[in-house]
Amino acid sequence: MTSLQLAGFGASIFIGVSLGLLGGGGSILTLPVLVYLLGINPIVSTVYSLFVVGTTSLVGSVNYMRQQQVNYKAAMVFSIPSFLAVYLTRNYLLPVIPDPVLATDAFVLSKDVAIMLVFSVVMLAASVGMIREQTGPDNPAQSAVPFDLPLIAGDGILVGVLTGIVGAGGGFLIIPALVMLVRLPMKMAVGTSLLIIAANTLIGFWSGTANLPIDWPFLLGFTAFAVLGILLGTYLTRFIAGNKLKKAFGWFVLIMGVYILTRELFL
């Protein structure tokens, strides 16, 4: 195993830890780790990312379920339009995107590069959401307000399309929606977000593997390290406030997004 491969598997633990602590954001690192550290094709990496993020989020959500920190009604209302969008994106939108996406005499934009460019923009948007302070109601009783169904459904569709294209969980969009539109306390928003991410990404994975050979020994091994990380992350929530870490992690994601954008365009 090369040093880059060792770094990739080590990074998978970090991805899990950040998911456990923050309820989102960690999944944004899965694709660049698979592409740049482990040398996997971007299109294949988006499929692998769906499995890693989905399995890891599902394991992490169990701890929140035990603490009764998952709002199942909100999860269902958000998930139905979201996983429909994931399915349609993986099966009907991605296959019709041409390769190359754009070709002129002076410039060729391949499908692989286009995916990474879209992903870098997603990272930049995610970093802004994490750097800005997100607060939720301290009193869970405040969450008993009517759902704004059109806005929640619209956000769910946006997350589903994002998940389908780049393999990210979209927690940076889900958590603010749960806090602001559903008025969930932050901890319950994190637990609910993990369940929504798990449903979206696992549906996306199983709907996108029909014609793709899967290296199961590698994928299961990589995922196992991420699961170990999320178990560690959920344990650390007893001692570390995730909100305090989110801003620092947001700056890290911002730097990574700028790096990917620069690498794909100029290097």
**Mean pLDDT across 187-192:** 85
Share of the chain above pLDDT 90, in %: 24
**pLDDT in the model for residue 147:** 65
Number of domains in the chain: 1
pLDDT at 223 over 90: yes
Q: What is the mean pLDDT of residues 63-67?
A: 88
Domain of 14, in residue numbers:
3-266
More reliable by pLDDT, 263 or 25: 263
Whole-number pLDDT of residue 210: 63
pLDDT digits (tens, 9 = 90+) for 136-178: 554 444 444 456 778 888 888 988 888 888 877 777 778 877 8
| pLDDT of 208 higher than 70 | no
Q: What mean pLDDT is predicted for residues 121-128? A: 84
Say if CB 40 and CB 257 are below 8 A apart: no
pLDDT of residue 34: 93
Q: Give mean pLDDT, residues 77-97.
A: 89
pLDDT recorded at residue 143: 44
Mean pLDDT of the chain: 84
Give the residue among 112, 91, 93, 111 at the shortest CA–CA distance from 206: 91
Is pLDDT of 26 > 90? no
Asked whether the predicted pLDDT for residue 181 surpasses 70, the reply is yes
- What is the predicted pLDDT for the residue at 12? 93
